[in-house]
Amino acid sequence: MEGSALWQGSVLAGILFWLFSSSYLNLTLKLRSFLQPFVTHYVETGTPILLQIQSYRAGFLDALFSGLSCVVSVPFYTAFLPLLFWSGHGQLARQMTLLMAFCDYIGNCIKDVVSAPRPASPPVRRVTATKDEEENALEYGLPSSHTLNTVCLSGYLLHYVLTHTQIQGAYINYFGVSLACLFVALVGLGRIYLGMHSLIDVAAGLFLGLGILGLWLTVHEYIDSFVVSGQNVTTFWAALSFILLFAYPTPELPTPSFEFHTAFNGVALGIVTGVQQTYHQFHHDNVHRLFTSEMTIPEFMGRMLLGIPTILIVKFCSKTLAKWTIPVVANTLGIPIKSTSYLPTVNGAMTGEKSKAFDVDTGIRFLQYAGLAWSVVDLVPSLFSYMNL
C-alpha cells in the first residue's frame, strides 16, 4: 500500500514539476523557434512531390483513401472500442483505449509545440470528405495522427492476436506483419494523396508510432495489472487526468487538438474507473466472448441495440449536468469563466479578464466523455446482466 502511494505520488509530482519548470523556462516557445522553421522548410520543399502523387488523381483513389482515413479516425475508434468491450475482449479493449489516449496526447502535444503548417492548399488539392476531416485540417501538421495511431493500434492488435490466440506459426507471423505494414503504408500514402500531410509529417508519425508501440509493449502488462487490481487506482487516475488538462502546450494559433485530447483524457478516466469497480463482475478473463457457444451473434446484436442508445443517453445527460454544475461551482469559488461553444451566454456576463478566465468547455467535454466511457464498462454491462444478454 505504501509502495503504491509512493510511486503514484512520485509520478504526479514529476508531471507537476515538468509543468511548472517548462512554463517558467518557456520551453514551448524555445522548442517551436528551433523546430518550426526546420519542419516548415521540408513541408514547402516537399510540395512538388505531393503534386506528383496527386497527379494520379482518380475517383476510386479518392474513395479508397478517404475510407481508410475514416477507418483509422478517432470517431471510428470511439465507436469501435465499446463493441470490443461488449464482445468479451476486455483486456484488448482497455489496452487499446489507453494506448489511443496516450497516442492522442503525445501526438497532439507535438503538433501544438511545433505548430508547423500542413501543405499549402492551393496548389495542393485537399480532400475533406467528412466533417471529421474538415476538423482535422484545422490542426497543425506534424506528426500525422492517422499514421501514428495506425502504427500503434494495428501493431498492438497484431501482438495481441499472436500472443493470446491459437493462431501461431512462422507463416502466420510473417503474414500478420506484412498485412500490418501494408495497412500503415496505405494510410500514410493516403494522407499525402488527400493533401492532408506532407512527407515529413507522415515520416514523423511513423517513427513516433514505432517508438510509442515499443514502449507500450514493454509496460502494457504492468498498466493492465494496475488498472484491474491496483491500489488507489481511481484517485490516482483522476488526479493524473486533471493534471494532464493543464500539462499541455499552448499552440501558436488555436486548433481543435486540445479538444481531442480532452475528450480521450475523459474516456481513459471513465474506462479505468468503471473497470476498476466491475472487473470481477464483467471484465475478467472468463467472460463470454463473441464467436463462441457462450455468445452468439444474435446475442451480441442484442447487446448493441441496448448498449449504443444507452451510452448516447448517458453522454447527453453527462453533458447537460456538467453544463449546469461547472458554472455554479466556478461562480461559488469566485473563478472567472468563459465558454467558446457550449455556453455562449457566459461570455456576456463574464467578469474579470478573459485571458485569465477558465474555459468551462474543457470541463464539460471532459466530464461528458468520462461519463460515456464509464457507462460502456459499468452501466451497460449491468444492463446486459439484468437482461441476460
Active site residue 197: yes
How far apart (Å, rounded) are the C-alpha atoms in residues 182 and 185? 5
H-state helical runs in the chain: 2-25, 27-45, 47-54, 59-71, 74-86, 90-114, 131-136, 145-164, 170-193, 199-229, 233-244, 257-278, 297-333, 344-349, 360-374, 380-386
List the catalytic residue out of 41, 159, 197, 280. 197
List the catalytic residue out of 89, 146, 261, 283. 146
- State the cell numbers at 109: 502535444
What DSSP assignment string belongs to 197-249?
--HHHHHHHHHHHHHHHHHHHHHHHHHHHHHHH-SSHHHHHHHHHHHHTTSSP
Active site residue 261: no
User: φ and ψ at 88, to 5 degrees?
Assistant: 100, 0
How far apart (Å, rounded) are the C-alpha atoms in residues 371 and 263? 11
Closest CA to 363 of 389, 388, 338: 338
How far apart (Å, rounded) are the C-alpha atoms in residues 192 and 187? 9
Q: Which residues are catalytic?
A: 146, 197
